[in-house]
Structure 1
Amino acid sequence: MEQLTDLKAILHSKRANIYYLEKCRVMQKDGRVLYLTEARHENQYWNIPIANTTCLLLGTGTSITQAAMRMLAQAGVLVGFCGGGGTPLLMANEIEWLTPQSEYRPTEYLQGWMQFWFDDHKRLQAARQFQHARIRFLRQVWRKDRDLKAEGFDSTHSDIEQALNLFEQKIHSARKVGDLLQTEAQLTKQLYKFAARHTGYGEFTRERDAVDNANTFLNHGNYLAYGLAATALWVLGIPHGFAVMHGKTRRGALVFDIADLIKDALILPWAFICAKENMSEQEFRQQCLQAFTDHKALEYMFDETKNVALTTEWQESKS
């Protein structure tokens, strides 16, 4: 047990790993969590560094033991069952994920959240704050990431700058959350068009059930972002149902709100770049995880979620 306590020394915001596993068995062995793959002539064990892992996606042909789940829970690793390639998420608790049970998570963030959440005007202000943070992160990433800039994803490009400036204006003028959702959809559509043009992808339509590489990668990458968002909310003690953008009737909606902070900046461009280069899903996944680490995506989610939870300046205003 002392060993497990030591593992928790790594803050969730600093953890680097998300695992997607398929056709294997996850188990506990000698105080470690391993996954077993069955080869033709021998079985192979691979270690999962749970102290540096945020979430675990279990795909087709997987199983997990009770002992392994106990260790994952003690290390604060979220677990979800999904289809092949990481989507769709099929079965989980706490809306999106099987979350570790803990009575010692902080209460201040949920209490701060509750101060504004039941007021429509204050909730709109929180939604605006998230949208500004979303644009700020995109500008930051696309301005300094050399690999993205080499592919044409530069926040100083006139088309991008114009689209972002217009979106920021509409954030201010939005009178209800529905206005923000509509404006958000228009911006994302423009970004898809920009990405398809600059990567030479050709005609593109966003369809979650489509089988072309860009759509498949967007689905996959989005679930990786959902895993980060679910981890941040679990650590901060904020239930997934208290959304500020996505409908209150969608139980996991706050996960989507938080994931949106980084999806356009990281998942969207790399989905098109990797599709153009005909990469495998595993190569795309590794590229996304590297981008999350390089740009401290999980840490950004933590910071912005805490900012919204603890902000008091706008909570007194209904404008």
Structure 2
Amino acid sequence: MKDLSPSDLKAILHSKRANIYYLEYCRVMQKDGRVLYLTESLSNKGQENQYFNIPIANTTVILLGNGTSITQAAVRMLAQAGVLIGFSGGGGTPLYMANDVEQAIEWFTPQSEYRPTEYLQGWMKFWFDDEKRLSAAKQFQQARIEFLHKVWGKDKDLKNEGFTLTDSGIKTALIRFNERTQAATKQSDLLLTEAQLTKTLYKLAANSTKTEGFNRQHQSTDLANDFLNHGNYLAYGLAACTLWVLGIPHGFAVMHGKTRRGALVFDIADLIKDAIVLPWAFICAKENATEQEFRQQILQAFTDHKALDFMFEQVKSVALAHGEDESGENSLEKTKGEQP
């Protein structure tokens, strides 16, 4: 059998990769040309080591939680395969890097000089123009609602739990959202409109799952808030992966503020949070699911509804469309794939 180097494993585009891993109380290492994680378990024979393979060619993000360590050789292979590595607390939240920064969105990103440049060039063509940056933010907000319609209209499990857009209150909120989004003259207007819609969706979710007295708290106070935090961080991982592959730095946000570190990750993650993370957080809380069960449900929903594909499509569309010159012709060559 021919030996494969990690660079040979890049045949799977990031938008098509299926796996996000959250690991805790284990050691990640390289062994025989593979990346494995090692756990210890007790058996009749005493303490035994168990090895599990990580299919790095089909993985986007690895979150390392409590009690984990990773070898330099493993990091090298993960970087060569284009896998993002994040360090987090228990359950995947909050997300840390090398230092202990509460709620920071930081990643150790794989280093490659061969990422595409056209998307960053397109982004830079519009980003310094306030009106074009606002227009890009509006496009993301419209895409967010389109994805909500698509997922909630298609997912039978969500429909069975009462998550539909036929409710009169939701219809009114969406009409108001569209009107205010179009009329917005600055990013703060969009953020206020977004907050009002999300508040309505929280109310629908609480009513559908009979969750009494829900109040959104980022400092977790109940299971629904726990799952919202957890699911949001998984969405941040997909967003960070999308931006890294397309070569766009996290600091060039269009909505969450030019000075907020990693703000573009928030912008991109918002595309899918309302449609997928929000309803499943409430449903799993109602069912008293474990963190692992919730995580498996969210990751499956990301795959079923092609959330990563959708992120790539929207970011590429904004980068190329808003990077047009004054004649209306795109000065950047559109590429078929994510990587050269």
* TM-score range relative to shorter protein: over 0.9
Superposed CA RMSD = 1.7
Alpha-carbon distance change, 316 to 130 in structure 1, aligned in 2, over 3 angstroms? farther
What is the Cα deviation at residue 7 of structure 1? 1.1
Alpha-carbon distance change, 314 to 166 in structure 1, aligned in 2, over 3 angstroms? farther
More helix by share: 1
What is the Cα deviation at residue 2 of structure 1? 3.8
Identity %: 74
Structure 1 residues 268-307: aligned runs within 5 Å: 268-307=278-317
Gaps of 5+ in 2: 328-340
1:113 aligns with 123
1:89 and 2:79 correspond = no
1:74 and 2:77 correspond = no
1:17 aligns with 19
1:158 and 2:168 correspond = yes
- Distance in 2 (CA, whole Å) between partners of 1:194 and 1:168 is 19
Instruction: Give the secondary structure class of the aligned counterpart of 2:244.
Output: helix
Instruction: Give the secondary structure class of the aligned counterpart of 1:247.
Output: coil
What is the Cα deviation at residue 3 of structure 1? 3.3
Equivalent of 1:177 in 162, 184, 187:
187
1:46 aligns with 52
- Distance in 2 (CA, whole Å) between partners of 1:192 and 1:160 is 11
Contact 2:126 2:322 in 1 (8 A): no
Structure 1 counterpart of 2:187, one-letter code: V
1:257 and 2:259 correspond = no
Alpha-carbon distance change, 75 to 133 in structure 1, aligned in 2, over 3 angstroms? same
Equivalent of 2:34 in 32, 37, 43:
32
- Distance in 1 (CA, whole Å) between partners of 2:322 and 2:48 is 60
2:64 aligns with 58
What is the Cα deviation at residue 251 of structure 1? 1.3
1:4 and 2:10 correspond = no
- Distance in 1 (CA, whole Å) between partners of 2:23 and 2:288 is 22
Structure 2 counterpart of 1:178, one-letter code: S
Alpha-carbon distance change, 314 to 195 in structure 1, aligned in 2, over 3 angstroms? farther
Equivalent of 2:114 in 93, 100, 104:
104
- Cα deviation code 1:191-246 (max 9, x no counterpart): 11110011101111111112300000000000000000000000000000000010
What is the Cα deviation at residue 57 of structure 1? 0.3
Alpha-carbon distance change, 105 to 293 in structure 1, aligned in 2, over 3 angstroms? same
Instruction: Give the secondary structure class of the aligned counterpart of 1:27.
Output: strand
Instruction: Give the secondary structure class of the aligned counterpart of 2:60.
Output: strand
Instruction: Give the secondary structure class of the aligned counterpart of 2:29.
Output: strand
Structure 2 counterpart of 1:220, one-letter code: H
2:238 aligns with 228
- Structure-1-length-normalised TM-score: 0.96
What is the Cα deviation at residue 316 of structure 1? 5.4
Greater alpha carbon shift after TM alignment, 154-163 vs 57-66: 154-163
Structure 1 counterpart of 2:208, one-letter code: H
Contact 1:20 1:58 in 2 (8 A): yes
1:209 aligns with 219
- Distance in 2 (CA, whole Å) between partners of 1:242 and 1:42 is 48
Instruction: Give the secondary structure class of the aligned counterpart of 2:221.
Output: coil
Structure 1 counterpart of 2:189, one-letter code: D
What is the Cα deviation at residue 6 of structure 1? 2.7
Contact 2:10 2:57 in 1 (8 A): yes
What is the Cα deviation at residue 39 of structure 1? 1.4
Contact 1:134 1:262 in 2 (8 A): yes
2:335 aligns with none
What is the Cα deviation at residue 38 of structure 1? 1.1
Structure 1 counterpart of 2:20, one-letter code: I
1:126 and 2:147 correspond = no
What is the Cα deviation at residue 248 of structure 1? 1.1
What is the Cα deviation at residue 166 of structure 1? 1.2
What is the Cα deviation at residue 249 of structure 1? 1.1
Instruction: Give the secondary structure class of the aligned counterpart of 2:5.
Output: helix
- Structure-2-length-normalised TM-score: 0.90
